[in-house]
Amino acid sequence: MFETLRDRLQETFRRMGGRGVLRPEDVDTALREVRLALLEADVHFQVARDFIQRLREQALGREVWRHLNPAQQVIQIVYEELVRLLGSEHRELVPSPKPPTVVLLCGLHGSGKTTTTGKLSLHLKKRGRHPILVAADLRRPAATKQLQVVGAAAGVPVFTLDTKDPVEVVTRAIAHARGSGHDFVLVDTAGRLHVDASLMEELRQVREAAHPHHVLLVVDAMTGQEALSVARQFNEQLGIDGIVLTKLDGDARGGAALSIVAVTGKPILFIGTGEKLDALEPFHPDRMASRILGMGDVLTLIEKAQEAMSAERAAELERKLRRAEFTLEDFRQQLREVRKMGPLTSLLEMIPGLGQVRGWKEQVDERELLRIEAIINSMTPEERQNPSILNSSRKRRIARGSGTTVQDVNRLLKQFEEAKRMVRQLEAAGRRAGKIRWPL
């Protein structure tokens, strides 16, 4: 979503980096280009103007043009102000000291509210919580059924009631959760195509009955300036505690994400980064600012890896690598775990510095992982354990079964052997130097 903005900012910083010392007019030119980049990204004009004013004050206060490496200082100032614009610090969904914690999710049709309710339940479940979903959207056809499907996929129960009164549903659901040991109640409320009086009145009644600990507004980040208007109206008429931005994996310009905190004064708690139920991330302003500037996001990458692979699996993999027992079966499992972490381009963007390399995305082919897995799937268990037995006829059979060529099979086997040899050499060199210890 922030690709265009990132490219514009990096081009601006690249031109600044070619100068030994910046003059004040150079800083003004850079700030003007940053402002244009923000406006092109659909950032609210008032937010963009205030942002540039703070940047100018910071630059003047530090006198960046007099320092030896002023371009890096300007980047640091832009980073600090981006973090501030996005909310300064990470906010948690704080549980109530007296369970259950009631979370009311609201928003317009099409924002991804029902799916986000399921995503949030899976997020909580992975962290040892015991959530229950509540089907309080009684107006949209099949809304209850959709929530039940989402709940089943997440492995979370869904409370339903045969009534047209959402207040009764929520009241009964909270009582049920209290008696059955659920510590989080996630209420999926009714939406509309646009904000209207009847919607707000229904939501106010549900809120008064539920006494929620958190009211989260689900906003579609791809709707641009409209998202800001919706957020402002919900906050003024209902009162919200936080925001969930969905569809950040889309190709919109991203202005809503950069403007919504400043417009509403409410923090972003979560972001939706895909359609799958596990594509929900806690929002960290500093990490998002790093991504926007192409500086990577190592912490989120590590967290994704930890979720995809258990400690026991990592220890087993380390042992096999040390003993040269790593097989194509293990390699296939690794590929599947990488794919569970999300799109490959999204993962690579989190590597510091890679986002500043021009044209790297064109060299990444997501389908290559599928081809590799197809080749390994076409092998027998014996062949995966011992690739040395693969002769010409076996390779032709594998190529036919995977829809690839013999050359593709040979390329995979060569890369696999080179990777194993590199690991062995790295370990041997580290042990001789006494500086590297397993696990790497």
| Neighbour count for residue 337 (Cβ, 10 Å) | 17
Distances in whole angstroms, Cα of residue 114 to Cα of each of 34, 110, 334? 37, 9, 32
Per-residue pLDDT of 70-79, as tens digits, reads: 667 777 888 8
Per-residue pLDDT of 267-295, as tens digits, reads: 999 998 888 898 898 998 888 888 777 76
Stretch 163-176: mean pLDDT: 93
b/e 278-316 (16+ beta carbons within 10 angstroms → b): bbbbbbbbbbbbbbbbbbbbeebbeebeeebbeeeeeee
Instruction: Give me the pLDDT at residue 153, please.
Output: 94
Element (H, E) at 77: helix 70-85
Per-residue pLDDT of 395-419, as tens digits, reads: 999 999 999 999 999 988 888 887 7
The CATH fold assigned to 101-294 is: Rossmann fold (3.40.50)
Instruction: Give me the pLDDT at residue 100, please.
Output: 93
Per-residue pLDDT of 352-397, as tens digits, reads: 555 555 554 555 566 777 888 899 899 998 998 888 899 999 999 9
Q: Where are the domains of the chain?
A: 3-85, 101-294, 301-433
Instruction: Give me the pLDDT at residue 308, please.
Output: 57
Cα 43 to the chain's mean position, in Å?
Answer: 20
Q: Is 48 helix (H, G, I), strand (E, B) or coil?
A: helix
Instruction: Out of 112-116, 300-304, 327-331, pick the least confident.
Output: 300-304
Assigned superfamily of 3-85: SRP54, nucleotide-binding domain (1.20.120.140)
Q: Give the pLDDT band of residue 439 (cuts 50, 70, 90).
A: very low
**Alpha helix stretches (DSSP H) within 188-242:** 197-210, 225-237
Q: Are 296 and 351 in contact (CB under 8 A)?
A: yes
Question: Radius of gyration (Cα) for the chain, nearest Å?
Answer: 26
Q: Are 170 and 134 in contact (CB under 8 A)?
A: yes
b/e 11-32 (16+ beta carbons within 10 angstroms → b): ebbeebeeeeebeeebbeebbe
pTM over 0.85: no
| pLDDT of 309 over the 60 cut | no
Q: Are 285 and 262 in contact (CB under 8 A)?
A: no
Q: Are 254 and 1 in contact (CB under 8 A)?
A: yes
CATH topology identical between 3-85 and 101-294 = no
383 burial via Cβ count (<10 Å: 0-12, 13-18, 19+) = buried
| pLDDT of 257 over the 50 cut | yes
Q: Give the pLDDT band of residue 314 (cuts 50, 70, 90).
A: low
Per-residue pLDDT of 2-55, as tens digits, reads: 777 777 777 777 777 666 666 777 778 888 888 888 888 888 888 888 988 888
The β-bridge partners of 281 are: 271
Cα torsion for 135, 150, 184, 282, to the nearest 10°?
-130
Per-residue pLDDT of 332-347, as tens digits, reads: 877 777 777 666 666 6
Per-residue pLDDT of 97-131, as tens digits, reads: 998 999 999 988 888 899 999 999 999 999 999 99
Domain 301-433 indexed as CATH 1.10.260.30: yes
> Can you give 361-410 as a three-state secondary structure string?
HHHCCCHHHHHHHHHHHCCCHHHHHCHHHCCHHHHHHHHHHHCCCHHHHH
